[in-house]
Structure formats: C-alpha cells, structure tokens
Amino acid sequence: MMASAGAAHVLLVEDDDGMRMLVGRALRESGYRVTGCRSGAEMWPLLSGTTVDLVLLDVMLPGASGLDLLRAIRAKGSVPVIMLSARAEEADRVLGLELGADDYVAKPFGRPELLARIRAVLRRAAVAPTPAARPETLAFSGWRLDLRSRALTDPEGAAVDLSGAEYDLLLVLLEHPGRVLGREQILEMSRGRLASPSDRSVDTLVSRLRRKLEPPEGATPLIKTVRGSGYILGAKVEQI
C-alpha cells in the first residue's frame, strides 16, 4: 500500500539497519509515511524540518541514548513517542513512561502489535487538545499548574515537585473537574503512561499525589474517592 498525501508521518530512530528496514517497510505497507535515521544527531534536523506525527525511538542508540533523547523531545514539545527496546525489564518500561513516552514496546515484537500500538497512540493524539488550544495555567483552590513548564505551586507560592506520572494524573483530574473517573478512564486519558490497572498502580499514584496536595487540617481533600467507581477532583478549576 502506498502512503497517501495525508498519511501520518512516522520518524523511525533505529541504529540497526536491518531492523530499521523491516519496520520501515511494514509501516509503508500499512499506509504510513516513514523517515528513518540512525541517531539523535540525525533525528533533530528531521524533527525540526518536517512535520512528524509520531516518533518510534530505540532506547539503545550511539551517542545520546533514546531515554536522553526522549527527555529532550519532551522539553521541546508533545509529539507522540513510542520507545522500542530489547530491554523488557519493568523498571526500564516504567522509566520510559515516567519520562513522557506514550508507549513502550519490547523487542522482539510482532508486526500486528506494533501497528496496533501506533494506531492507538495516534488516536489519542488526534483527540487530545493541541497546545495552542490549552490555557497556559490551571488554578484550583489556590494551587497553580503551569502547562508550559509543568510546574506546580502551592497556595503560598512554593514549588512542588511532580514525577511525570503524577503530572499526567493531575492534568487528567484538572481537565475533568467534578467528574468521577475510573482507573481505566484515567489510564486512557493519561495517554497510557501509567502501568496496568490490575496492579493498583493508579491507586498508588493517587495516594502519592494526595500527599503532595494535602490540604490544611480539617479541610476537604482535593481528590476524593468514590467507592467502587474511582476518583473525583472536588475543586473548581480556572483557566488562566
């Protein structure tokens, strides 16, 4: 199948020539436009000089690693990124997702799985608000979240550190104030950066975020548990 003029453009960063050729061929046969390169040095001119809809980024690369490149990509923008790695350890997968990857695929992978994950990430990116459509800051109960710098400040103006997963969770809650969200909804809305809901990772993450948003003694918690249903943000959110 030949890629159409409106087909999604995938930038494939893979230093193994054979793997890059096989993956590139599979994507082109499925209708995608594909540009391949071997390293971060080759990636940056392509990423800045053309419109890229998704980056397939290998972890083990010459020079800067895929994880280092992911950090730099996330500092510059929000293009979807799927990490590819022969390292299947959970710690590596979690680190990639924490740094902002939209998905993490362990090698060896089958063609159907890779294509399905690409379609899922592109679907989420298509329905996500574009940066231009978003406000610069979200304010709630005296707190402020800067969407450009991803910085959170408390009602006294002090900075509060957030991990990548904590930021994703907080943003999902702020974008749906007053709405009960179940684990599956949180996972989908956070663009799949969290682990499986079966291991209670969402509950653990909510607990971590709650501790950082702990209100004064006697005040109502900002994140409330709705037994059997999920979580709800019990605060009014203002866009600034």
Same domain, 16 and 121: yes
Domain membership of residue 66 (yes or no) is yes
**Same domain for 34 and 52?**
yes
171 and 106 within one domain: no
Statement to judge: residues 13 and 123 lie in one domain:
yes
Amino acid at 203: D
The two tokens of residue 96 are 């990639």
Tokens 């890229």 map to which residue? 52
Instruction: Please report, for the domain that includes residue 197, its CATH number.
Output: 1.10.10.10
Examine the domain organization and report whether 113 and 200 are in the same domain: no
pLDDT at 3 over 50: no
pLDDT at 196 over 60: no
**Do 67 and 137 fall within a single domain?**
no
Q: 229 with 136, same domain?
A: yes
Bridge partner residues of 13 (DSSP): 37, 57
Q: Quick one: pLDDT at residue 198?
A: 47
Please say which residue of 127, 144, 174 terminates a domain: 127
Tally Cβ neighbours within 10 Å of residue 22. 13
Percent of the chain with pLDDT over 90: 49
170 and 93 both lie in a single domain: no
- Residue 136: which domain range? 132-239
Query: Could you read off the pLDDT of 203-234 as tens digits, one per residue?
Result: 888 999 999 998 777 678 899 999 888 999 99
Q: Assess whether the previous peptide bond of 177 is cis (omega < 30° from 0).
A: no
Do 137 and 192 reside in the same domain of the chain? yes
Q: Tell me whether residue 3 is in a domain.
A: no
Domain-terminating residue out of 127, 149, 176: 127
Mean pLDDT over 56-85 rounds to 91
Where does the pLDDT of residue 127 fall: very low under 50, low under 70, confident under 90, or very high at 90 and above? low
Does pLDDT of 69 surpass 50? yes
Q: Is residue 88 in a domain? A: yes
Q: For residue 1, tell me if it sits in a domain.
A: no
Helices (H) and strands (E) in the chain, counts: 8, 12
User: What confidence category does residue 2 fall into, taking pLDDT thresholds of 50, 70 and 90?
Assistant: very low
Same structural domain, 121 and 164: no
Q: For 131-190, what is each residue's pLDDT tens digit? A: 444 568 999 999 999 988 889 999 999 999 988 888 888 988 998 888 888 887 787 666
- Residue 105 sits in a domain whose CATH number is 3.40.50.2300
Q: The pTM is what?
A: 0.55
- Tell me, what's the pLDDT at 194? 56
Please tell me which residue, 164 or 67, carries the higher pLDDT value: 67
Of 127, 150, 173, at which residue does a domain stop? 127
Residue 2 lies in a domain: no
Amino acid 80: pLDDT:
93
Q: Does any domain span residue 4?
A: no
94 and 19 in one domain? yes
Burial class (CB in 10 A: 0-12, 13-18, 19+), 10: buried
Domain count, the chain: 2
70 shares its domain with 174 = no
